[in-house]
């Protein structure tokens, strides 16, 4: 599993993870595990698995550390 920091959350149910590579990773609230999307905070460390969505790379199995 990869690790990153939540960079931005939206009120539309998705967010972006700073992967540390200069490339942010999109994630959707349906890919959050172990907590609810509403409990996530910007700056929080998370683990994730890189997957593919219809519009390109996305984070799956997003979990707080």
Whether 9 and 15 have beta carbons less than 8 Å apart is answered as: yes
Q: What was the pLDDT predicted at 2?
A: 96
Whether 4 and 15 have beta carbons less than 8 Å apart is answered as: no
Q: What was the pLDDT predicted at 25?
A: 97
Structure tokens at 1: 């599993």
Give the residue extent of every domain in the chain. 2-64
The CATH code of the domain at 2-64 is 2.40.50.140
Q: What was the pLDDT predicted at 47?
A: 98
Measure the CA–CA gap between 3 and 11, rounded to whole angstroms.
Answer: 23
pLDDT tens track, the chain, 65 positions: 999 999 999 999 999 999 999 999 999 999 999 999 999 999 999 999 999 999 999 999 999 99
């Amino acid at each position: 599993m990869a690790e990153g920091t939540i960079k931005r959350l939206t009120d539309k149910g998705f967010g972006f993870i700073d992967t540390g590579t200069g490339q942010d990773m999109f994630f959707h609230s349906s890919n959050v595990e172990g907590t609810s999307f509403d409990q996530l905070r910007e700056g929080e460390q998370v683990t994730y698995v890189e997957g593919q969505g219809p519009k390109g790379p996305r984070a799956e199995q997003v979990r707080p550390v």
